[in-house]
């Protein structure tokens, strides 16, 4: 068993899970959180993650963690992935642990590794200016055998290391390149559009093997999802499990949890989108915890511990025979207007049998909504619970379009 876990980042739900397990941990995060940590007796080391220097590096951080006997580092958020990788390279005396962490933080490197390993990926290139994006779209059009007056092939550009949809732009034409792309977008990754149904997995890995697999049904990316998956994706679970294990093997992942996103075509082909190794957005692990009746956040942390036995790993998860009784889903709510004055909960929501609760908070006064980067910060969630995944899908689609803030 690990002597002490370093939780890289700040997450009260993770801290609470570790306290319930009574496992030793120390939180490593920005100094802004230190007063709260001290007030609540949470072991804490203040550290700045957004720079590498003579006084801010993994060797320096490892020294600061020695009094806590830390021997396992766990990345909670995107910006701490390489820091955890660097620390675990020291703790395991294995430099490849850091190299694997860079795979998760550089989308171009990630795509190349997936391609070399035999996964189905789209066309992609690193680009440094608008002209290179145009040349990429031109080559993509040629590869797709476009003819005169046919619509251009879609191109996505995204930063190498940002989480989620931050900085992500969908370009449907050469005109879009001129009108939507900013100089600040470069350098970035340009990639072709992958067709198929998009969904994510949360694969808990120990000893290089997938020990538990959650499949999250995306109703609308960045807005709504539910767990476990609906009937169609459930029927493809053996194929999905096989591809996730292949990804684990290709990347050499030994411990922790990965969050890959896939595109499933009607021909049962799985296209690889990208993969992360930190807590996913959309409250996915909270939904999985409710649906499968286990603590997914605790399992996420504990799977990073190489010293766990198979029996200890198996005890973290529901039995293989467990069948969820209900689906749990949520809609992340974003205001539809630039200025909002109040929160309105429709009567139909309170009367809906699947409605569980919501976390929406009324604005204190008239509030101006800033433009969002990526999907931005949602104002809360509306949560649902029910047996029928088709009904769940209908509800999530409906409430994406309800204007809660007016």
122-164 per-position pLDDT tens digit: 999 999 999 999 999 999 999 989 888 889 999 999 887 776 6
Q: What is the pLDDT of residue 49?
A: 81
Contact criterion met (CB below 8 Å) for 47 and 61: yes
Q: What is the pLDDT of residue 48?
A: 86
SS3 300: helix
Q: What is the pLDDT of residue 161?
A: 73
Pair of tokens at residue 99: 């190299």
Residue 54 has pLDDT above 60, yes or no: no
> Binning pLDDT at 50, 70 and 90, where does residue 165 land?
low
Beta pairing class for 5-8 and 72-75: parallel
Contact criterion met (CB below 8 Å) for 78 and 276: yes
Most distant CA pair in the chain, distance? 68
Q: What is the pLDDT of residue 369?
A: 61
Residue 303 has pLDDT above 50, yes or no: yes
Q: What is the pLDDT of residue 290?
A: 98
Contact criterion met (CB below 8 Å) for 195 and 265: yes
pLDDT one-digit tens code per residue, 338-386:
788 889 999 999 999 999 999 998 887 677 666 544 344 578 999 999 9
Q: What is the pLDDT of residue 292?
A: 98
SS3 376: coil
Q: What is the pLDDT of residue 171?
A: 94
């Amino acid at each position: 068993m690990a002597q002490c876990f370093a939780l890289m980042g700040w997450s009260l739900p993770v801290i609470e899970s570790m306290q319930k397990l009574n496992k030793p941990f120390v939180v490593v995060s920005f100094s802004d959180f230190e007063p709260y940590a001290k007030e609540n007796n949470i072991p804490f080391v203040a550290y700045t993650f957004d720079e590498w220097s003579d006084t801010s590096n993994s060797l320096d951080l490892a020294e600061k963690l020695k009094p806590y006997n830390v021997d396992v580092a766990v990345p909670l958020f995107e910006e701490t992935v390489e820091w955890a990788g660097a620390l675990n390279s020291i703790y395991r005396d294995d430099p490849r642990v850091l190299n694997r962490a860079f795979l998760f933080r550089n989308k171009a490197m990630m795509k190349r590794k997936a391609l070399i390993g035999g996964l189905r990926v789209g066309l992609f290139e690193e680009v440094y200016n608008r002209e290179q994006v145009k040349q990429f779209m031109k080559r993509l059009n040629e590869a797709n055998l476009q003819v005169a007056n046919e619509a251009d092939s879609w191109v996505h550009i995204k930063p190498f290391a940002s989480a989620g949809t931050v900085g992500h732009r969908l370009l449907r034409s050469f005109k879009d390149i001129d009108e939507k792309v900013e100089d600040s977008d470069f350098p970035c990754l340009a990639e072709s559009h992958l067709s198929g149904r998009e969904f994510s997995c949360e694969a808990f890995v120990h000893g290089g093997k997938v020990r538990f697999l959650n499949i999250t049904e995306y109703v609308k990316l960045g807005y709504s999802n539910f767990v476990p998956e609906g009937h169609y994706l459930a029927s493809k679970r053996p194929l999905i499990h096989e591809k996730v294990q292949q990804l684990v093997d290709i990347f050499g992942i030994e411990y922790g949890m990965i969050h890959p996103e896939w595109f499933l075509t009607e021909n049962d082909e799985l296209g690889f989108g990208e993969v992360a190794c930190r807590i996913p957005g959309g409250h996915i692990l909270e939904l999985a915890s409710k649906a499968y009746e286990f603590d997914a956040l605790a399992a996420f942390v504990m799977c990073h511990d190489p010293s766990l036995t198979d029996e200890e790993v198996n005890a973290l998860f529901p039995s293989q025979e467990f069948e969820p009784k209900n689906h749990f889903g949520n809609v992340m709510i974003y205001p539809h207007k630039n200025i909002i004055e109040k929160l309105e909960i429709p009567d139909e929501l309170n009367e809906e049998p699947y409605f569980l609760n919501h976390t929406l908070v009324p604005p204190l006064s008239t509030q101006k909504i800033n433009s969002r980067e990526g999907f931005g910060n949602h104002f809360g969630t509306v949560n649902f619970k029910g047996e029928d995944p088709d009904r769940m899908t209908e509800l999530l689609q409906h409430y994406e379009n309800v204007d809660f803030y007016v």
